[in-house]
Amino acid sequence: MTQKQLQLSKKSKQLTPKQIRNSREKVIEFILFLAAFSSVATTIAILYILIDESVLFFQEVSIVEFLTGTQWTPLFADAQYGILPLLSGTLVTSTVAMFVAIPLGTIAAIYLSEFAHPKLREIVKPWLEVLAAIPTVVYGYFALLVVTPILQSIFPMLPGFNMLSAGLVMGLMIIPFVSSISEDAMRSVPVGLREGSYAMGATRLQTALKVVFPSAISGISAAYILAVSRAVGETMIVTVAAGLQPQLTWNPFDQAATITAYIVQVSLGDIPHGTLEYHTIFAAGLTLVLMTLVLNIIGHFLAKRYREIY
C-alpha cells in the first residue's frame, strides 16, 4: 500500500468531509423543520388551553344554558351564564363596522385597481395601510373622546358608551383590510378580459363593475369575510368605547359588552386562578375562536379559488 492509500483508508474510518457535510445539512434541515412546526404547535396549544379550561366550565354550566341564556352575569351573586348578550354586542359592533368598511373599502379598491395612475397608487397605498397600523387602543380613545361627543351633538340621547361610535371607528380601521385584499383580487383578473370589454365600447367604470368585479368576486368576498373576522376579534376599541355592561340588544345606540371586552374586563380584575369566573373567559375565548375559525376557513378557500381560476 502506498502512503497515499494508507491515508485514505485511515480517513474512511472517520467521517469523510462529504459525510460531515451531509449530516450537517440534515441537522440544519431538521432544525428548520422544527421551527416551521412551532406554528402548528402554537395552534395545538391554543386549542388545548381553551378546550381544557372550557371543559371545566361546562362541567358546572350546561352547554344549553350557555348557548340560549339571555343573561350574562358571572361576576354577580346571582350568576347567569348565557352568552347571547355578549354575542349580540359582538354582532352589532361588527355590523356597524362592516357598513363603513365594505362600501368605502370596495370603492377604494376599485379606484386603486382600475382608475388610479400607478404612481398615485404607490403613494396612496402606504397611507391607507397606516389606518391598520395605528394601535387599537388609540382608536378606542378616538371613539370614546372624539367620535362619541360629535355623535352626541347629532343624537342628544346617545349614552357616553355606545356601540355606534365603537363600530364606526372600527370600520375606519378595517378599510385597508377590505381594500388591499379586494384590490389584489381585482388586479389578478387578466388584462385580456378588460381589453375585451373596452373593445366593446365600455367605459372604465362599466368594465370595473360588470367585468372585473364579478370575475374577482370570490377574492372580494374573501376580503369581506376576513374583515368580519377581524371585527369580531377586535378588542380595545369596543372595551374602551362600547361599555362593559352585557346586554341583549340589537340597537347600536345602546351600550353593550362584546365577547372580547368581557375577557379584558375579567383580566383587569383579580380573578383567582381556577375559579368558575376564571374559566368563563376561556369559554368565551373558545366561542370567539370557533367564530373566527369558521370565517377564516371560508375566507381562505374563497381566496384560494380566485388564485386557481386565473
Partner 1 sequence: MTDSNLQEIRTELNRRKKVDQLFAIVGFLVILFSILILVGLTLQMAISGIYRITPDFFLSFPSRKPEEAGILSAWVGTTLVMFVTAIISVPLGVASGIYLEEYSRKNWIADLIEINVTNLAGVPSIVYGLLALGLFVYILNLGESILAAGLTLALLILPIVIVTTREALRAIPNSLREAAYALGASKWQMIWDHILPYSFGSILTGVIIGLSRAIGETAPVITIGALTFIAFLPDSPFKGEFPFISLAWLQAPFTVMPIQMFNWVSRPEAEFIANAAAAGTVLILMTLTMNTIAVYLRYWFRRGIKW
Q: Where in 181-200 is the site for partner 1 (CB under 8 A)? A: none
Cβ atoms of 308 and 302 closer than 8 Å? no
Which of residues 189 and 240 has its CB atom nearest to partner 1 in the complex?
Answer: 240
Decide: is 212 part of the binding site for partner 1 (CB under 8 A). Answer: no
- Nearest distance from C-beta of residue 137 to partner 1, angstroms: 4
Decide: is 203 part of the binding site for partner 1 (CB under 8 A). Answer: yes
Q: What is the CA radius of gyration of the chain?
A: 27
When binding is defined by CB under 8 A, the residue of 7, 9, 19, 43 that contacts partner 1 is: 43
Decide: is 152 part of the binding site for partner 1 (CB under 8 A). Answer: no
Which of residues 43 and 68 has its CB atom nearest to partner 1 in the complex?
Answer: 43
- Binding to partner 1 (CB under 8 A) within 153-172 occurs at 172
Which of residues 84 and 124 has its CB atom nearest to partner 1 in the complex?
Answer: 124
Span near partner 1 by CB under 8 A; candidates 41-49, 61-69, 80-88, 184-192: 41-49
Cα separation values, 106 from 97, 193, 227, 286, Å: 14, 20, 12, 31
Q: How big is the site for partner 1, counted in residues (CB under 8 A)?
A: 85
When binding is defined by CB under 8 A, the residue of 197, 224, 299, 302 that contacts partner 1 is: 299
- Nearest distance from C-beta of residue 84 to partner 1, angstroms: 20
- Binding to partner 1 (CB under 8 A) within 259-278 occurs at 260, 263-264, 267-268, 273
Span near partner 1 by CB under 8 A; candidates 56-64, 65-73, 248-256, 285-293: 285-293
Torsion region of 189: left, alpha or beta (phi above 0 gives left; psi -120 to 50 gives alpha): beta
When binding is defined by CB under 8 A, the residue of 92, 98, 102, 144 that contacts partner 1 is: 144
Span near partner 1 by CB under 8 A; candidates 7-15, 61-69, 214-222, 294-302: 294-302
- Nearest distance from C-beta of residue 1 to partner 1, angstroms: 30
- Binding to partner 1 (CB under 8 A) within 100-139 occurs at 104, 107-108, 110-112, 115-116, 124, 126-131, 133-138
Decide: is 141 part of the binding site for partner 1 (CB under 8 A). Answer: yes
Torsion region of 49: left, alpha or beta (phi above 0 gives left; psi -120 to 50 gives alpha): alpha
Decide: is 33 part of the binding site for partner 1 (CB under 8 A). Answer: yes
- Binding to partner 1 (CB under 8 A) within 47-66 occurs at 49-50, 52-53
